[in-house]
Structure 1
Amino acid sequence: MHTDRQTPEAHRSVADAPADNWVDRYAPAGWRPWLRLSRADRPIGTWLLLLPCWWGVGLAMISGAPMWRDLWIAVACALGAILMRGAGCTWNDITDRDIDAKVSRTRSRPIPSGQVTVTGAYLWLIAQCLVGFLILLTLGSAAIWLGVASLALVAIYPFAKRFTWWPQVFLGLAFNWGALLAWAAHMGNIAPAPVLAYLAGIAWTIFYDTIYAHQDAEDDALIGVKSTARLFGRDSKRWLTWFGAASVALLVLAVLAAGAKGVSLTLALVGIAGFAAHLLWQLKRFDMDDSAGCLRLFRSNRDAGLIVALFLALSGLV
């Protein structure tokens, strides 16, 4: 693996990375292009991949009683989210390298800017997948099979924006798979509760990724890339309201399906109410013409998802 040191942008930050992110400040110079390729300088995606996993753990604790193994499942999901989100982003950047070079926000990414070669990116992709698979092996046979099956969704997602106006659905299918996997790691099976949480996560993904996609709507229109942001257009807020409401309703059904009762049910519903309030807060501040505002709202979904994860964990412990 090597970087192209003759490229003027070889040591510059990626355009949409947070200012003073840890990669640019602390990581060794030689590692920075690879960490940028894995989006380690933009950790929000890792959070959004991890949180449905923690929802699945919380629901399993409600349904099957908490156990010490749940702590490892939560940690393994965190490590797996870092690695597999990195692998997914690497794959995405390999397939999108020509498109990224034409969009102002993405042309500074490692491959189009010349920081990383395509061959190097493939090797980095394989390395991340192998380490992620070793972690997956500790979670039991049901989780292993689900983890392997998720690779098909990860492989398809980068191409979705070429053939459908709903690529955010494909992102949701991939990003929320952890709700099923984490439940299976605890329970050894699949049941209605994690399926409902999975569907809630898909609706939530359409909500937050539509907001994110509004940053690129003009560039996407010029190069022919499809998205729900372009599909919904000026009607986006109404669509976002419906998808936010669907996510909240499905989470309530997931908690009921998991068997929450009494104090446990109350705690879970408080968490879901907090999640709903956060989505309403985002809707009130959503302005599709404010790219910087859209990025801030998108990033705020870490907190929305954490509210649910925290209260489901408390509900399960009760």
Structure 2
Amino acid sequence: MSATDLSAVGQEASPIAADKWRPKAGAYAEPGKNFQSNCDEGNDMTIDLGENSVSGPEWGCKVRKIVDLAPGSLKVGMTCSDYNLAQNLNPRDRNWENRQFNEVMFIKRVDETTISVQKSLNGKLKDTSWRAAYCPLATQRALAEATLRAKVEAKQKAEQDRALKEAHPRDGVYAAAGAEFEDRCAKFNDTVVAFAGKSITTASNICKIENTRVQLPDTVRIEADCTLQSTPGPDAISVQNPDTIQDRKNLMFKKIDDKTVILWIINNGHFTGDGRKLSYCSDQVQRAYAGQRRTGKQTKN
């Protein structure tokens, strides 16, 4: 079939609501000598219209609309990501991983286990339809188990991310409360927290965050690779190398409230005293620091 505008195809058929046939949810592969291996390796296609999902090797689609064209025949509108297509269309696009395509798939029932499929590419129906057969039950069970594991892991990660977000201090410029607080804030020379950028800069150290762990609802422990500032002050304390610590955590933040935290570092195997109580600097300071970061200017203290 030659390339066809999807808008024209959409005008040719009107929805028929009488027949609500849907393909079985699960893995499909093209019949033939490689059918079993393609099923086992997930090389062809997975359809789950109940979960609004259609996917294949290196492409995946979210179903937006299903139209019944005739008994046993569907038109499925989708929003898709397709790594190969995105790179082929524009290799210089730095955002190719996030590019989305509006696609359509026509699915027609052939028999109890076989369907005919035609999918657009970049909005055009360039390829002819092909047949896909429902994979054996062993493959379907393995797919269902993998899908369930992925959902459980995604839920656990979301819960961990939420707990971490609640525990760690918000990103920005901090300084020890007391005399010259505003001056230290304005010079950005006390403490800068950037969990989003995986870095923490203290009055003494520059640290790259390697790993974090929520210890308590208000406390987060951090593994960081730290080096002393080029011109450390007389009271500078170096952060212990995580390789020499059993759990590798050499920094710790305790969140008092949205604007106050306590920072401890490990040195010689012990957390330093009662820690440093830090306060979040004013919004004006935060904007100034963000502006400096955007322009790449270096402020000399």
- Pairwise TM-score range, normalised by the shorter structure: under 0.3
Higher percent of residues as helix: 1
- For the pair shown, the structure with the greater C-alpha radius of gyration is 2
Q: Which one has more relative contact order, counting CA pairs under 8 Å at least 6 apart?
A: 1
Higher percent of residues as strand: 2
Give the TM-score taking structure 2 as reference length: 0.23
Give the TM-score taking structure 1 as reference length: 0.22
